[in-house]
Structure 1
Amino acid sequence: MSINNDAVLGENDRQVVSYFTPKHTLPQISCHNCGQPMESNGLSLCNECIALTVDVTKDLVKTGSIVFCKNCGRVQVPPNGWMYAERETRELMSVCLRKLKLSDSQAKLVDARFIWTEPHSRRTKIKVTVQGEAAEYNNLIIQQSYEAEFHEHTNQCPDCAKSYTANTWQASVQIRQRVDHKKTFLYLEQLILKNRAHKDTMSIEESREGIDFFYGSKTDAVRMLDFLSTVVPMKYKRSEQFISEDTHTGSKSYKFTYSVEIAPICREDLVVLPKQVAKQHGNMPLLVLCYKVSKSLYFIDPNTLQKTIIPASDYWKRPFNSIANSRKLTEYIVMDIELTGQTEGKFALADITVMRASDLGVSDTTFYLRTHLGAILHDGDSVMGYDLTSANYNDDLWDQLKPEEIPDIILVKKVYPDKPKKSKRRLMRMAKEYNAEADIKQATPGYSQDYEEFLAELEQDEELNEELHFDPEEAENDLAIDVSQLDLDEEDDE
């Protein structure tokens, strides 16, 4: 007689049957070479020992050569390309890895980094990490690293070769400003160097009137015009000259010249605004001071702190000139100063009493006026300003001013006691074919003075120094490269 378990057990007392599936694991053995415990792989060798006996990099290219242009510093990219690739940069790493032809092998690139070498050694070394299969060990994946060395050679790129041949440029940009000093061009030159806006030039010539850039294509010249329009108030005119015509194809060759004119208004210039311009910009006083120049012109009234910005497009509709520049400044001594409490950005309005530095011990003549420099001036400070007590400028707009609209003095900038006479910092130059340091000094009166004043402004003006600060030699000694972002498509060498 059989017993029904379901009948004996109650409905709530039924047992749950669980099933166990055993997991199959590889046996643990010792490597017969080093003795370290390992999972059995049918070879009796651990991965470390296999990596010591197998070289997956034996068929890879480990040496090569890199060609740099001795003039512009660009590196040759086969077959006929040239690109800017400074040392220990992503671009140079891309060129080196193409030379190794890893795509032609079975190895997979994992990592790459530069190894520091002496610059004079003319060697570039990189550490490359790859993965490959060990065919004699059941195609086990092995990861190994090796060093690749490249010998550096110099040559001349086609663009630099053209620069030494007459009548090879196709477009030029001629930059001019009708002022009697070079401070604007010194400022502009540093901006161009910082942004590498001159990298596509075939030649650069500097003269008393300005700077000329020569290009091998019209596109490069237009790119420079776009950059200039973002940093200075400018306008330009284009002209073209017919060079030759191919009678077989009907194609014609032209040379294009872009004449760029920069607004003749500079930082610290004294300006009389036309009445229509002053009215359109918030009824500004006519006699104002220019405190900043970029793609627009920035003006301030020292008596009220009223400011306005005139875009380059508005300026060239009704152009005007400055009546005095920083070469006509007079030094004053602050006798007493009292803040009014009114501020506008970094400017603070103050009532101030000053006297000419030349009158110390000679005369007790003082002047009481208002200034926008209240935030930085104190008793005993030296300050530069325009002396308008007996000024008579040959300008129609100046003649239209009423006597009550002309103050005795307009203060411009503070003279710091620790101002260096000759700064040890030297500006970088970009002219390739013109001896600017020698010839410009002889051709332009006051060039040395402008140069030293501009250096002093960089030392004292934190905003200007930060705007122009750059270090062209800044680089890491051991730079790791994310190889996943590099373009390693192979190109056949010629």
Structure 2
Amino acid sequence: MEYIPQTQQQLILCCQCGTAIAPNPANMCVNCIRGVVDITEGIPKHVTIHFCRNCERYLQPPNYWVNAELESRELLALCLKRLKGLNKVRLVDAGFIWTEPHSRRVKVKLTIQKEVFTSTILQQIFEVEYVVSYQQCDECTRVAAQNTWKAMVQVRQKVEHKRTFFYLEQLILKHNAHKDTTNIKEVKDGIDFYYTNRAHAIKMMEFLAAVVPTRSKSSEQLVSTDIHSGSSSYKFSYSLEIVPVCKDDLVCIPNKLAKSLGNISPLLICLRVSNTLQLMDVNTLNVADIQTTAYWRTPFNSLASAKELTEYYVLDVEPVGPTRGRYVLADVEVARSTDFGKNDTTFITRTHLGALLKAGDTAMGYDISRSNFNDDNFDAMDRAALPDVILVKKSYPVHRKKNKTRQWKLRQLAKEEEEMAPRKQDVARLENDYEMFLRDLEEDPELRSNINIFKDTNAVAKAKKSQYAMAVEDEMQDQDEDGEEEEEDFPEISLEEMMDEMTLQDDETFAEEDTDDVMY
């Protein structure tokens, strides 16, 4: 066996303290190297970061504000970006040191490495303290100040009710189209939306034009001019006028327009309103779609709205054959509810509700025989050929009388009301319009499919108690006090269509506009 002698490692003395160490290019021990060289030099130990208390965002210079929770990855990245000189060393590890949430101090522990001499790498751990300073962001400043908006969208409709804006409000909430607004103000004939950016106002205009037929006008106002730099500041105003024709309205279109639509009858009812007007002839089930440009080329107004509907009692229904989707053409014998049992006045009319009506039901329609319309297009028609009654929809009076509470509710926009307090008659009219809107949602499944409906937990609990009380009285289950049976085919909103109420923050994304929505 060959003997291999073991060579002992040669040691040298540190040139600073004389400690025996292994040879290295610096000829110094680790403690002396740390005392002589500071690799954290040039990296600040105290930094100020700015925080907006209104929107709870941090400033990322030069002018970008970001959302970040305490001890989150976003806040850590923001803190590291604020450190100057960090690019000259190698960052090994970084983490937060716990501090009181209200102390306005954020501490970060950093581990860095740097080559101080040839083949000599030094690692060091140190702390950086960040002082949170309050500063209001530009957007919150504009919101807090007055008359600082840059763009405004004025939405108007010249009708007697607010049901159109109730539906638009639900569409805006569903698609989160109001996320960029600084203020929403409710006025007499519509709503005003205020923005700090012109592009956001144009985006709202495009959204509204995709769901309702509108025409727009724009204007600009000079605010200030800098003659030295040649720059100017403007305020932009966009006015949108919605077509004054709503769902279930009775219209009489010009003869020229009727001929261009396949020689359809001029007297029609508005069946559906999206970005086009869908009108139906109840005598033939013919449907005409009027584009927005075609309407404004030959505009026309409604002869009567849903507030002028008359209640009729259905005596007999006889289908005549043609069908179009859920609509069936039928001849119906009706009598006014006010005349029923008092005289023998009845009417036989043709309607598109043959699949919904049966003897004993009630329906809402327009009383043409007693109406006097101030319209040139209607005056040009032959009055002898006009029907006495035009039925529009089926009604459920008994169900409305017995069931006054709803197990669902809708969200609402945070709108600023007018400075002057509304009159009592205006408040009553607004409540009546909102009640009609809620009834239409219950009776029209196609309409409520475009909006979000939320469960009302309080109403559900009350409904369970009332059901228990009604179960005790067996006599009241099938008939009410007047002996009228409740409508069995009432289209109630099922629990599957309701959403659990939750608070949605700014992380909602703007959904794509649905151009097939219904408007009133």
TM above 0.5, yes or no, is yes
Aligned amino acid, residue 352 of structure 1: V
| 1:76 Cα offset (Å) | 4.8
Over 3 Å counting, the alpha-carbon distance change for 1:250 and 1:436 in structure 2 is: closer
1:427 matched to which residue of 2? Answer: 410
Q: Any unmatched runs of 5+ in structure 1?
A: 1-64, 86-91, 109-120, 123-152, 477-494
Taking the aligned partners of 1:214 and 1:384, their CA distance within structure 2 comes to 40
Give the one of 301, 309, 314 matched to 1:329. Answer: 309
1:213 matched to which residue of 2? Answer: 193
**1:449 matches 2:432:** yes
| 1:429 Cα offset (Å) | 2.2
Taking the aligned partners of 1:386 and 1:68, their CA distance within structure 2 comes to 58
| 1:253 Cα offset (Å) | 1.1
Over 3 Å counting, the alpha-carbon distance change for 1:191 and 1:405 in structure 2 is: farther
Matches within 5 A, 1:59-208: 70=54, 76=58, 78-79=60-61, 80-82=63-65, 96-101=72-77, 157-208=137-188
Q: Is the 8 A contact 2:218 2:237 kept in 1?
A: yes
Taking the aligned partners of 1:418 and 1:264, their CA distance within structure 2 comes to 31
| 1:281 Cα offset (Å) | 1.1
| 1:158 Cα offset (Å) | 3.1
Deviation digits for residues 325-356 of structure 1, max 9, x if unmatched?
00000001111112222111121111111111
Over 3 Å counting, the alpha-carbon distance change for 1:440 and 1:374 in structure 2 is: farther
Deviation digits for residues 368-402 of structure 1, max 9, x if unmatched?
11100111112111110000112111111111111
| 1:475 Cα offset (Å) | 8.4
Q: Is the 8 A contact 2:187 2:418 kept in 1?
A: no
The alignment partner of 2:359 has SS state of coil
Taking the aligned partners of 1:68 and 1:405, their CA distance within structure 2 comes to 70
Over 3 Å counting, the alpha-carbon distance change for 1:375 and 1:97 in structure 2 is: farther
Taking the aligned partners of 1:260 and 1:275, their CA distance within structure 2 comes to 28
Over 3 Å counting, the alpha-carbon distance change for 1:77 and 1:289 in structure 2 is: farther
Matches within 5 A, 1:401-420: 401-416=381-396, 417-419=398-400, 420=403
TM-score calculated relative to the size of structure 2: 0.63
TM-score calculated relative to the size of structure 1: 0.66
Taking the aligned partners of 1:338 and 1:404, their CA distance within structure 2 comes to 23
Over 3 Å counting, the alpha-carbon distance change for 1:252 and 1:398 in structure 2 is: same
Taking the aligned partners of 1:442 and 1:158, their CA distance within structure 2 comes to 41
Taking the aligned partners of 2:420 and 2:362, their CA distance within structure 1 comes to 32
| Cα RMSD after superposing both structures | 3.5
Aligned amino acid, residue 439 of structure 2: A
Q: Is the 8 A contact 1:208 1:444 kept in 2?
A: no
Aligned amino acid, residue 274 of structure 2: S
| 1:450 Cα offset (Å) | 0.5
Give the one of 280, 283, 290 matched to 1:300. Answer: 280
Taking the aligned partners of 1:254 and 1:210, their CA distance within structure 2 comes to 24
Over 3 Å counting, the alpha-carbon distance change for 1:238 and 1:103 in structure 2 is: closer
Aligned amino acid, residue 98 of structure 1: E
**1:358 matches 2:338:** yes
| 1:405 Cα offset (Å) | 3.6
Over 3 Å counting, the alpha-carbon distance change for 1:271 and 1:445 in structure 2 is: farther
Aligned amino acid, residue 265 of structure 2: P
| 1:442 Cα offset (Å) | 5.7
Taking the aligned partners of 1:240 and 1:95, their CA distance within structure 2 comes to 46
Q: Is the 8 A contact 1:69 1:157 kept in 2?
A: no
Structure scoring higher RCO (CA < 8 A, sep ≥ 6) equals 1
Aligned amino acid, residue 317 of structure 1: R
Q: Is the 8 A contact 1:441 1:448 kept in 2?
A: no
The alignment partner of 2:182 has SS state of strand
Count residues with an aligned counterpart: 364
| 1:233 Cα offset (Å) | 0.5
2:46 matched to which residue of 1? Answer: none
**1:309 matches 2:289:** yes
| 1:250 Cα offset (Å) | 1.0
Taking the aligned partners of 1:281 and 1:382, their CA distance within structure 2 comes to 33
Taking the aligned partners of 1:197 and 1:440, their CA distance within structure 2 comes to 31
Taking the aligned partners of 1:69 and 1:327, their CA distance within structure 2 comes to 48
Taking the aligned partners of 2:193 and 2:423, their CA distance within structure 1 comes to 17
1:23 matched to which residue of 2? Answer: none
2:263 matched to which residue of 1? Answer: 283
**1:258 matches 2:234:** no
The alignment partner of 2:436 has SS state of helix
Q: Is the 8 A contact 1:422 1:452 kept in 2?
A: no
Give the one of 177, 192, 212 matched to 1:232. Answer: 212
Over 3 Å counting, the alpha-carbon distance change for 1:392 and 1:94 in structure 2 is: farther
